[in-house]
Structure 1
Amino acid sequence: MTGLPSIPNPDLTVGKDNKQGWNQPDRRREGFHNGHARWRRMLMIRARRILSLRDTPDPRLSAAVEATGLTRNPAFSALVVAEGDRVLHSSHAGDFGPDRPHSIQSVTKLHAHLILGELVASGRIDPDLPVVRYLPWIGSGYAAASVQDVLDMNVENDFTEDYDDPQSGCYAEEEALGWRLPPDGRAEITLRDFVAGLTGGDLVNRTGHALYKSANTDVLTLIAAAVGDQPPLARLQAIADAAGYEGGFHISLSPDLLPALSGGACLSARDLARFGLLLARRGGAVSGADVGDRMFLERSLHRPAPILGATRGWVRYSNQLMTDGKWVGHAGYGGQFLMADMETGRVAAFLSVLENDSGYDDAYMAHVIRSLEGVLSTR
């Protein structure tokens, strides 16, 4: 039937600076707090059993949190610090509650670490082989790159992730992640077709630091779908069971119904802390089977890998996680960070929403990392 009144979806339609409605600076905070209800396609997973957490506030730790200034920053949404089955600190902004899901953006990539770790450990993936061995249809942007270099953000190609550039490739990628609609009624591009169309030269990274590209995680998602004995969505369900989430784990889906492991998850701060505790347990499950691979995770802590760059030169990017050799974690666009101290088992889940034009601030993220390191070391 035609002729019925309709308007373009205001959340998903692209507007100023090539950003869709939910990611416009004046709507970004609301968008991050409600991404699970704003994006094109979302899958929600509940855990079979819930990891019970006891609130046992630690005054010294809360004083350390206060000293960082993180919770007084206008961007702040939530911070939860936990260890074992105890919540040592929990604070939330006035417009964001403890049970609310929040976009965690690239913190989602830690799920790719767990999934690829299993596939490497089982022999289904050899990290030294080129991507083309697993994805014969792949284009020049990744065909000759080793899977290991993709895991380490160590690939030079034509995909760009510059949040200050409205025409950067990462914004075109969002269509394949289910975060925006194409113009003029054009069909949405699938994750496979988006990745297949990426181009590159010899792919050798000569910068001396990691070249952060979310498209790398998209490639790994497609490899996992191609070679795994179960689909990526089934592995995400296993991770949810292993973590013991209390609320829903929400993940956006591509038009070809693949999970957006590069940045599409939404979790409450307490459930993000539960995910961090899962990492601290090295994949040990609350219910169901253990996830990831313990040796893959241990090697990721200590193996040589590219540093993040000048402002975060003490942090390396290794196997789809960030590490200083003591903690593992990941940052997320907009101001997220999850950190798990692998020596003490203490974790910090930090959520915030930057409302500047780009939605990113490198100095801010470096401050967040240093602040969480200090908080986790407080005894």
Structure 2
Amino acid sequence: MPRNPDLEVNAQRLALWNTAGRRRQSFRDLHNIQRRGLGFRAAEVLALRHAENAMLAQRPGLARLLAAPEFCALVIVKDDRIVLERHAADFAADRLHSMQSITKTFVHLALGRLVAAGAVDPARAVGDYVPEAGEAYAGARLQQVLDMDVASNFAEDYAAPYAPAPARGEPVGYARQEIAMGWRLPPAGEAEFGVRSFAAGLTAAPRGDDRATRYASPNTDMLGWVIERASGRPLAAHVEEIVAEAGLEAVFHVSADCDGVPVLSGGGVMTARDLARYGLLLARRGGAFLADAMSGAGTHYGGAPGLRYRNHLMSNGTWAGHPGYGGQFLMVDPQRRAAAAFFSVLETAYGERDGYFAEIIAALADALNHLA
């Protein structure tokens, strides 16, 4: 029986659905491409009314983004108002789109609530909550994992080999993570594995003192395991609770691994309007966990000046948010009770372009600064 061609790997070491010529469409269909998935829908929808501020679209940085071929959708909201909404000609308001790593912010919300309730202490070791966490994580403090401050043999390298399976301690790239996520097939003859066993199999590496963000998607999967153990509830129950509180209108789809675990490291799929609603929840939740994320603590995140990565959010002290592979960004301004949700797709070989996220960040921050 032939293997699924979408999930096979090409000479560039990418799953075929994620190749440059197919990526734009695939990001809209990821919930149909992934091997397994879960769906959640809120019982009550957060109503949003249109009160457009067309002048925002004329801000130079935003105007450039909206006119670029990569652009898919932008929704900016304040309180219960949509102040700007734009879609590309091949997109629509009810169209789903992959959030990629913006999904990681679910961990901020779920774990923040547990920290506030005293059920989790970020100063404790991961192994206190998940004894089988493995060499890279068992002795790491939870705060280190939250801040992407863990050194392991994993590298978020999209071009890394995925076959053969590396021996223990050898470098492991993102291609292996995608097997665990259900986004590509394992090499022929190799058994499938889930995100938790993958993270637990990583080994420790020396950590320098530069305090730079060591971005690694398995960190998020390990935190999801901690959430489940510390709360005594399935991770999916936390996802469902967040979807309900955000008042999402459409179905929220999220990838699931071969063990049925929601893949919060990057598996979320939403409409742009729902991503804006979700951003408003981040702003509403607030509290000490968000304040700490915006305090200037954490690791130094590259790509734009003054950015820190803390509590599974990026922040410059005024806004908080998160990028997603290929051109996605969610930015939240708690003081203004506002959020900007941005979808785009870079059709370069590996979905990256120097300076692109810095351009998005500058444009979205400028737009939020000019809200009435």
TM class, shorter-length = over 0.9
The residue that corresponds to 1:308 in the other structure is: 301
C-alpha deviation, 1:164, in angstroms: 4.8
Residue 53 (1) aligns with residue 48 (2): yes
Q: Distance in 2 between matches of 1:142 and 1:229?
A: 20
- Equivalent positions of 1:44-123 (< 5 A) are 44-64=39-59, 67-123=62-118
Q: Percent of aligned pairs with the same residue?
A: 43
Q: Indicate the SS of the match to 1:348.
A: strand
Residue 295 (1) aligns with residue 288 (2): yes
C-alpha deviation, 1:206, in angstroms: 2.3
The residue that corresponds to 1:367 in the other structure is: 359
AA matched with 1:251: V
The residue that corresponds to 1:281 in the other structure is: 284
Out of 199, 202, 218, the position equivalent to 2:203 is 199
Residues 350/29 of structure 1: CA separation in 2 closer, same or farther (3 Å cut): same
Can you give the 5+ residue segments of structure 1 that lack an aligned partner in the other structure?
1-5, 284-293
The residue that corresponds to 1:178 in the other structure is: 182
Out of 1, 17, 25, the position equivalent to 1:22 is 17
Q: Distance in 1 between matches of 2:173 and 2:157?
A: 8
Out of 223, 234, 237, the position equivalent to 2:237 is 234
Out of 244, 258, 268, the position equivalent to 2:271 is 268
- How many positions carry a matched residue from both structures? 362
The residue that corresponds to 1:142 in the other structure is: 137
Q: Indicate the SS of the match to 2:323.
A: strand
Which stretch shifts more, 162-171 or 52-61?
A: 162-171
Q: Distance in 2 between matches of 1:281 and 1:94?
A: 32
Q: Distance in 1 between matches of 2:232 and 2:318?
A: 32
AA matched with 2:233: Q
- Equivalent positions of 1:334-349 (< 5 A) are 334-349=326-341
AA matched with 1:339: M
The residue that corresponds to 1:288 in the other structure is: none
Mapped contact 1:19–1:166 kept (Cα < 8 A): no
Mapped contact 2:37–2:256 kept (Cα < 8 A): yes
- Using the size of structure 1 for normalisation, the TM-score is 0.92
Q: Indicate the SS of the match to 1:81.
A: strand
The residue that corresponds to 2:35 in the other structure is: 40
C-alpha deviation, 1:39, in angstroms: 0.6
Residue 131 (1) aligns with residue 126 (2): yes
Residues 248/65 of structure 1: CA separation in 2 closer, same or farther (3 Å cut): farther
C-alpha deviation, 1:65, in angstroms: 6.6
Deviations 1:125-180 (CA, angstroms, capped at 9, x unpaired): 22111222222122222222111000001111111012354566111101111211
Out of 173, 180, 187, the position equivalent to 2:191 is 187
Q: Indicate the SS of the match to 2:188.
A: helix
Mapped contact 1:60–1:378 kept (Cα < 8 A): no
C-alpha deviation, 1:226, in angstroms: 1.9
Q: Distance in 2 between matches of 1:340 and 1:241?
A: 19
Mapped contact 1:205–1:211 kept (Cα < 8 A): no
C-alpha deviation, 1:67, in angstroms: 4.9
AA matched with 1:51: L
The residue that corresponds to 1:211 in the other structure is: 214
The residue that corresponds to 1:286 in the other structure is: none
Mapped contact 1:244–1:274 kept (Cα < 8 A): yes
AA matched with 1:184: A
Mapped contact 2:280–2:337 kept (Cα < 8 A): yes
Q: Indicate the SS of the match to 1:312.
A: coil
Deviations 1:210-238 (CA, angstroms, capped at 9, x unpaired): 11111111110111122213211111111
The residue that corresponds to 2:319 in the other structure is: 327
C-alpha deviation, 1:279, in angstroms: 1.1
Deviations 1:234-285 (CA, angstroms, capped at 9, x unpaired): 11111111111111111000111111111100000000000011112126xx
Deviations 1:314-340 (CA, angstroms, capped at 9, x unpaired): 111010001111111100001000001
Q: Distance in 1 between matches of 2:130 and 2:90?
A: 44
Residues 369/206 of structure 1: CA separation in 2 closer, same or farther (3 Å cut): same
Can you give the 5+ residue segments of structure 2 that lack an aligned partner in the other structure?
163-171
Root-mean-square deviation (CA, aligned residues, Å) is 1.6
Q: Distance in 2 between matches of 1:156 and 1:205?
A: 9
AA matched with 2:21: D
Residues 184/315 of structure 1: CA separation in 2 closer, same or farther (3 Å cut): same
- Using the size of structure 2 for normalisation, the TM-score is 0.93
